[in-house]
Chains A and B, each alone.
Chain A
Amino acid sequence: MNEYTLLILLLLISLLWFYFGNKTALSLKNKQLKLNSLPHYYGMYVALYSIIPSLFSYLLILVFDGILFSNLIMEFVPKEILNSPDFNKIIVLAQIDNAVRGIYFGEQPDWVTVASNQMIEWNNQSLILNFFCSISLALGIGYLGFKNIHQEFRSRNSVEKIIISLLGLSSIIAILTTIGIVFSVIFESLRFFAIIPASEFLFGLTWNPQFEGAERAGSGQEGLATYGSVPLFVGTFLISLIALCVSVPIGLFSAVYLSEYANKKERSIFKPLLEILAGIPTVVYGFFAALTVAPLMRNGGSLIGLDVASESALAAGFVMGIMIIPFISSLSDDVINAVPQSLRDAGYGLGSTKNEVITNVIIPAALPGIIASIILAVSRAIGETMIVVMAAGLAANLSFNPLDAVTTVTAQIVTILVGDQEFESAKTLSAFALALTLIVITLILNFYALHVVKKYREQYE
């Protein structure tokens, strides 16, 4: 008996109700009574009546017992662990959870054994509670639905109403996700700004969260950890700029060629080929940047007497540029195609060559869309994570030199939040503040780009 069997049980019960509802409706029909709806709608009505409340209570208990127990179990954690500076709720919970599953190495501390036993007991109790609640709801409310069936009952209308409201509910998930993102970022960011003033975060020139531990251990040196995010944004900007230098010319010229010069066959070969570049996972690009491109650049640089850092902004930016070529070429291709043929014809009618039509008519007409595609590519480059984590490194140098190692906002977020973090420290919280700024920047860029595209579309439609 576990959560899955309970779920299957609930489904079976609703299936059973479907059978009964259907059967009753059929028997009514067999009595030569005219039914309002098709018989299976009566079955579906009862089944929905049974499954929705029971599933709701099932999920509610499943979700909230986790929240409840993870807070209650803290009673069993000894005071000295709770109060110790490196207390981490997630680690403690994981420890207990592993003990519950029976995965552990060596001796367990006593309190973990006690807590895990308590946890197992609670889990069993909640399962029993869940079992009774859900099953009784499935049977009880299902029965209420079943009682509703009579000859003139408009079961189809009711079923459709239920389904439409379910469809509407699912569209709310998107909003819930946004709210979740905003909440998960804002609260932690506010706590961060309570420790570190926002002005220091936004305008500080050194980023060095590594000393946090030393500071707290009472080494006497206060304020060694600094959270000035300017180097991160400069690094992000530098890498994005390099990426744009690669992708904008290549993407634009490809788009112009594919939409204006290429014949059908060329187009059908090269357009998908370019789009493959967008489908390659970023971790593959990161591996490629770190193990192939960066050494190549380093060796190439030393040949001509340049000192290229082994984790240079150039390698990461270059590879990122390759990755975003299709974003620029595809969208620009679309906008160029959307320029009305009449404009082209007018240009040709005046005796222009293809090149003159492109530079004097098509590009100016498509410019807003092209700019939008570039903005989207920028927002993509700013949010890109794996390439910079693997190839750009973590050295927060405030440098505009593409040959230096720099770091980016996303790379810092990942390094700070991967592994075991302490939720209370300024270092962990700083990742949330970085994420907040990242979201704000990408959303503004995106908003602007969509706005431009929309305005442009209206112009020709």
Chain B
Amino acid sequence: MNKNNSKMLTADEASKIVASSVIRRRKKNARLKTYGRIAIGLAVSFLIFLFVSIFSKGIPGFFQYYVTLDVYLDRDRLDPKGDLSPESLYNGDARSIVLESLYKVIKPKGRKEKKAAKKIISSNADVRISKMVLDDPNILGKIIPITFAVDDDIDSFLRGYIKRETPSSERRINDKVIKFVDKLSAENKISYKFSDYILTGSASRSPEIAGIKGAFIGSMLTLAVCFIIAFPLGVATAVYLEEFAPKNKITEIIEVNINNLAAVPSVVFGILGLAIFIGIFGMPRSIPLLGGMVLALMTLPTIIISSRAAIRAVPPSIKDAAYGIGASKLQTIFHHVLPLAMPGMLTGTIIGMAQALGETAPLLMIGMVAFIVDIPGGVTDPGTVLPVQIFMWADFAERMFIQKTSSAIIVLLVFLILMNAAAVILRKRLERRW
């Protein structure tokens, strides 16, 4: 052993150095582990924060304030023609009948107070009465208690968003209105219950009667079109590429193409719809058929890629067995490969559909952002979809729309969670390990 060579360590010395550094090194290791935990903790807490913030706003959006009034349903004034037709009821005087029964409770004095009292009940009250009469004409001529949604400003006041302490000039509702609302509360006329409108109403500029039914049906129609187009095309393409495509340049181009399409930003598909389907094919705007077609092109790569993976996962022994008993290639595929690959393909499809359900940008560009009150009855009726409805409501200034938007988001999220859960269950139940 050469003592002069200081670089050379004895085993003893070396082990001492190592031992002294071990604690430091283990600490470093522990630190990295903690960083990892912190990172996951942050990501999960973002998720929780997002959900809490949406749900805390959205759950109250499913409820709203109502005022109950004893209304005398005067036959002559509600139905001036006396034939119970919708036009006759439309020409009737439901609004002032409602207001009169309101005045009976709060007893306004003078024109100014009456004007203030008018602000309490939603402008939709007369429609509600007409509908009730149409449903059951026997109620005409009777005095019955009816609940009406209160106006959105009153609703915000009752929830405490519009504060009593704010000076009257900066408040959206004045002192007189507040006095009347207090009176109504004192007489137990005001109730807080599950909203009649959020799930069954359609688009409206008045937040107290706005609902998501139209958008929801629009979403379902769009999704149906998307599925009918994308699923067969996606599966067919996957089968062709996996089983039949010759190994040549064209096949290669198709494969590269599909991967690239998966990366194209969704807004570009909107431009495609606008320029080709509307601009050249002359399709009308805002219809679920068009929306479904655009979304189908967008989800197609997802479905193709997952279907190919599912087909590839079917073991060759199954195919060989089929060939062995004399099946043709197509018979092997349709009778054996596809049924076995179906869970995987469906999982990919459901995930693609969930993407399509949440997609907004391309649909904005093909005009599904239009303000459409009617509920679409088919794929060629103009309509809107849930995410676009959310986008539009988020832009409105009324306080109540924030809650309604959050409620719509909750409905959307519930559907997405259901779809993803279905995908997971499907995968778990039908997954086979070979």
Chain A residues in the interface with B (C-beta under 8 A): 63, 66-67, 69-70, 90, 93-94, 97, 156, 160, 163-164, 166-168, 170-175, 177-178, 180-181, 183-185, 188, 249-254, 256-258, 261, 270, 273-274, 276-277, 279-288, 290-292, 322, 325, 329, 351, 353-356, 358-359, 376, 379, 382-386, 389-390, 410, 413-414, 417-419, 423, 431-432, 435, 438-439, 442-443, 446-447, 450
Contact = CB atoms under 8 A, between A and B. Distances in A.
Interface in B232-274: 232-233, 236-237, 239-241, 244-245, 253-254, 257-261, 263-272, 274
24 contacts: A66-B283, A67-B282, A160-B328, A170-B236, A171-B236, A172-B254, A175-B253, A184-B271, A250-B39, A253-B40, A261-B33, A281-B416, A282-B358, A353-B29, A382-B265, A383-B265, A383-B266, A385-B265, A385-B267, A410-B265, A431-B271, A432-B271, A435-B271, A443-B264
A358 B32 contact: yes
A166 B282 CA distance: 27
Which bucket holds chain B's interface residue count? 35 or more
Given A67-B280, A287-B394, A355 B42 contact: no
Considering the complex of A and B, which 6 residue pairs feature the smallest CB-CB distances, nearest first? A257-B36, A383-B265, A281-B358, A184-B275, A253-B39, A70-B282
A442 B54 contact: no
Interface in B376-434: 387-388, 390-391, 394, 402, 405-406, 409, 412-413, 416, 420
Interface stretch (B43-51, B88-96, B99-107, B127-135): B43-51
Contacts of A166: 236
A26 B36 CA distance: 69
At the interface, is chain B mostly helix, strand, loop or mixed? helix
Given A184-B271, A435-B268, A90 B279 contact: yes
A358 B263 CA distance: 31
A413 B361 CA distance: 10
Given A256-B36, A281-B359, A288-B53, A446 B263 contact: yes
Contacts of A184: 271-272, 274-276, 279
A181 B268 contact: yes
Contacts of B416: 279-281
A166 B39 CA distance: 49
Nearest to A63: B281
Given A171-B245, A273-B47, A253 B300 contact: no
A173 B265 contact: no
B213 interface: no
Contacts of A287: 54, 390, 394, 405-406, 409
The residue among A379, A382, A439 with the most chain B CB atoms within 10 A of its own CB is A439
The residue among B33, B232, B241, B263 with the most chain A CB atoms within 10 A of its own CB is B263
Contact of B394 (A379, A390, A418): A390
A249 B40 CA distance: 10
A288 B29 CA distance: 36
Nearest to A171: B237
A390 B282 contact: no
A257 B40 contact: yes
Given A69-B282, A443-B260, A417 B274 contact: yes
B354 interface: yes
